[in-house]
Chain A
Amino acid sequence: MSGIQESIVIRTVVRIMVPFIQIFALYVIMHGASGPGGGFQGGVIFGAGIILYAMIYGHKEGKQRMSDKLNRILSSSGVAIFAVTGISCLVFGGMFLQYGVVPLLPDNPAVVSRLLIDVVEIGIGITVLAVMISLFFDVSPPETDEEELPASEEAGQ
């Protein structure tokens, strides 16, 4: 494991690739209503980007970006976004998640519906990404302190 983590090629490639993975995840989330994709898939891809970072740069670096507290806040706030959107439809007299009744734009309920579908997808995505990352942090083995560099690798080069 430490041999992989020391490799400069892998570290550089991961550092360059993670922003693109995250942009792609946002694209998947936002196009969930009109094409393939959606909140779940986008959240999984976003989480996979951060898991990749945490795998290569180590748990400590990963937890600096995505601490347990932040994970907890995100995983519950995504559910809250979903619930608030659904219940606000109830408040305005419709069914649960019947977006058209929310009077954001009273003359154009179709636009409101499309907007609120995106809000719900974002909520799902936030929850899924936080749960995936916390699953990885819980399941993967705790790191040993890497004070000894493998000497054979140095000699091999």
Chain B
Amino acid sequence: MIWILDITLLLFLVVCAIAAISIKDLLSAVIILSAYSLIMAIVWVEMQSVDVGFTEAAVGAGITTVLFIATLARTEGRSED
């Protein structure tokens, strides 16, 4: 366990989470959510849970981003609230 790496990753995680819910442009929010998933996958692997990290990287950063962007292409892509 490298605690500086852990603290840095968790800090990035919090920043990404806050940015993803506060940004207005939905495409940017999706990309930030993908970055959140990637950092979360690194955190899982750092916590010796390779299997969960693998799933997070494949589903969270891969498929979910593609599905969100495909959905955004059918909408106007901006949040009202």
Q: A41 to nearest B CB, angstroms?
A: 5
CB-based contact B50/A136 at 8 Å: no
CB-based contact A41/B58 at 8 Å: yes
CB-based contact B58/A48 at 8 Å: yes
Q: Specify the chain A residue showing the minimal Cβ separation from B50.
A: A36
Interface residues in A1-42 by Cβ distance below 8 A to B read 1, 28, 36-38, 40-41
Q: Is the interface of A mostly helix, strand, loop or mixed?
A: helix
CB-based contact B71/A139 at 8 Å: yes
In the complex, A55→B63 CA distance in Å? 12
CB-based contact A44/B63 at 8 Å: yes
Q: How many residues of B are counted as interface, with CB atoms below 8 angstroms from the partner's CB atoms? A: 14
CB-based contact B70/A141 at 8 Å: yes
Q: How many residues of A are counted as interface, with CB atoms below 8 angstroms from the partner's CB atoms? A: 19
In the complex, A38→B63 CA distance in Å? 17
Residues in chain B near residue A28, CB distance under 8 A: 54
Given contacts A55-B66, A135-B67, A136-B67, contact A44 B73 (CB under 8 A): no
List chain A positions with a Cβ less than 8 A from chain B: 1, 28, 36-38, 40-41, 44-45, 47-48, 51, 55, 132, 135-136, 139-141
List chain B positions with a Cβ less than 8 A from chain A: 50-51, 54-55, 58-59, 62-63, 66-67, 70-71, 73-74
